[in-house]
Structure 1
Amino acid sequence: MGRPTYQRVADTLRQRIISGDYAPGDRLPSRQAVADEFKVGPRVAADAVQQLITEGYVISRTGSGTYVRPRAPVRRLTRSWYRENRPGSPFRADMAAQAVRGGWESASEPVPAPEAVAQRLAIEPGDEVMRTVYTFTGDGEPVMLSTSYEPLEITRGTEVVLPEDGVHAGRGVVERMGLIGHRITQADEVVRARPAQAEEADRLGIGRNAHVLVIQRTYCTEERPVETADIVVPPDRYELAYTMPVRQD
């Protein structure tokens, strides 16, 4: 069975955007002009344009028309032990290095560990963890999401139990854990791509069908994992740069 007509029209318009025939900021042809060009009805033309809006390629301005979404500059997120081991917030330092004002909003609450999180933290499903949900911003715009989990058996009753509250708020995981006697010696990361979930797309201001990179990160001491997080990055805004130490015995 062939693709619906509106999707075939959207495919052509999308390719024109990708190739630069329609540049960022250009006004897309009106729905009637699209219908005339592709010899389709107004409903099909409207559905094709709506598909591009949903995917984040174009934006609609009431009373003005539909415009190709401006492309945000691609910035770099550095993934390295040197980055994680410096004091303060690694994310904020990354942003400052690119003349961007980095910040975040967060909310923490104790929750039972889901099975997948428990496996990553080497604890039992249902054991209490502190879950912290972050929206990271650059110059006030959302650029990255993260959901972090820390076993409460480690942090309960300490001054770092709430990652973004108290005298040590805003410090990185490595620094915070070190303050309560847990020296992190290893960071494991697995990177994969997947379609953005609807809630993620809305928080990041991207199309519902857009893809994101997900970094599954786990910090470990020599004895055990002490934190794990899922970091969601839009690949059209950020590239990941890995720096790895090389040992020479």
Structure 2
Amino acid sequence: MPEQPPYLRIADLLRQRIVDGEWSPGERLPSRARLASEYDVGDNVVRRAQEMLISQGLLEGRAGSGTYVAEPRQRVRMVRSLSRERREGSPFRADMAALGKTATWDSRTEAKVPASPEIAARLGLEVGDLCVRTSYEFMADRKPVQLSTSWEPYSLTGGTIVVLPEGGPFAGRGVVERMAEIGVQISHAVEQPEPGGATAEEAQLLGVQRGSFVTRIQRTYYADGRPIETADIVIPAAFSEIVYEVPIEPGS
């Protein structure tokens, strides 16, 4: 029989140490370098072993922090509603607070990113027009619950105090409140949810198995019929339930 690949052997050893209780749920594992030295293998072997266990739900990776033993997770209720966007502060933080959870997020913003054909079509721009792109990892009680990548036309916010969604005095305030500061009143949002499977990168960030069911939401905000911001949102089905709140106009 062919010899077992090294990363599978290391994955089995790490799995057994978790089962034996050497590392408790929520505990951070030693660094890859330390594990590689302990098992006399390369860092890449440990990385592949950890990625495999992340895909199986035994470990979870946290960007910039390390790899942790996964904890049992309850489903989080994610309410989709424009009225919630009109609150002061972060709608996500308010929603998590209502569930008794602490909301945090990591973000990375790139200014002056050329619009791809798809993003240009969604924002009514020319291909190559500049956008501000921000990638988010949202967490509830330090556990990942949502990913999002948003695009805003640089021609709209460039040179203003809200050009960076997570910078300046309106950092983290949400699209509706930020745009109102520069005189843009968002009237409505359009969301298109679709089921899908988590990619390898999404699985690692969300702490789920590769190919696990996720809900992908394509969201676009409008002001006077003009698209102002568009985003791709990824929510793991196993840990989140999505609820839509639909306002009813009096007399309708």
Band of TM-score, shorter chain: 0.7 to 0.9
Other structure's SS at 2:104 match:
strand
Partner of 1:42: none
Q: Cα distance, 1:129 vs. partner?
A: 0.3
Deviations 1:93-139 (A, max 9, x none): 01000111001010101210111111111111110000000011111
Partner of 2:74: 73
Other structure's SS at 2:202 match:
helix
1:132 equivalent among 131, 134, 152: 134
Please give the residue correspondences for 1:1-249 in structure 2 after superposition, counting only pairs within 5 Å.
56=56, 71-110=72-111, 111-247=113-249, 248-249=251-252
Deviations 1:172-196 (A, max 9, x none): 1000000001100010000001111
CA distance in 2, matches of 1:188, 1:209: 26
Mapped contact 1:54–1:209 kept (Cα < 8 A) = no
Q: Cα distance, 1:223 vs. partner?
A: 3.8
Deviations 1:42-98 (A, max 9, x none): xxxxxxxxxx95753556xxxxxxxxx764111101111211111110000010001
Mapped contact 1:95–1:102 kept (Cα < 8 A) = yes
More off after superposition, 69-78 vs 138-147: 69-78
Q: Cα distance, 1:241 vs. partner?
A: 0.8
Which letter maps to 2:56? G
Q: After the TM superposition, list the runs of 4 or more consecutive aligned residues in structure 1 that deviate by more than 3 angstroms.
A: 52-55
Which letter maps to 1:163? P
Cα RMSD of the aligned pairs, angstroms, is 2.4
Which letter maps to 1:113? A
CA distance in 1, matches of 2:182, 2:208: 39
CA distance in 1, matches of 2:57, 2:103: 25
CA distance in 2, matches of 1:120, 1:177: 18
Other structure's SS at 1:176 match:
helix
Other structure's SS at 1:175 match:
helix
Mapped contact 1:56–1:210 kept (Cα < 8 A) = no
Q: Cα distance, 1:209 vs. partner?
A: 2.0
Other structure's SS at 1:163 match:
coil
Higher-Rg member (1/2): 1
Mapped contact 1:121–1:225 kept (Cα < 8 A) = yes
TM-score for both structures, normalised by structure 1? 0.73
Mapped contact 2:55–2:203 kept (Cα < 8 A) = no
Number of paired residues? 196
Which letter maps to 2:192? V
- Summarize the Cα distance change of 1:53–1:184 in structure 2 as closer, same or farther, 3 Å threshold: same
5+ long unaligned stretches in structure 1: 1-24, 28-51, 60-68
CA distance in 1, matches of 2:241, 2:146: 12
Deviations 1:185-222 (A, max 9, x none): 01000000111111111111111121211111100001
TM-score for both structures, normalised by structure 2? 0.72
Which letter maps to 2:83? Y
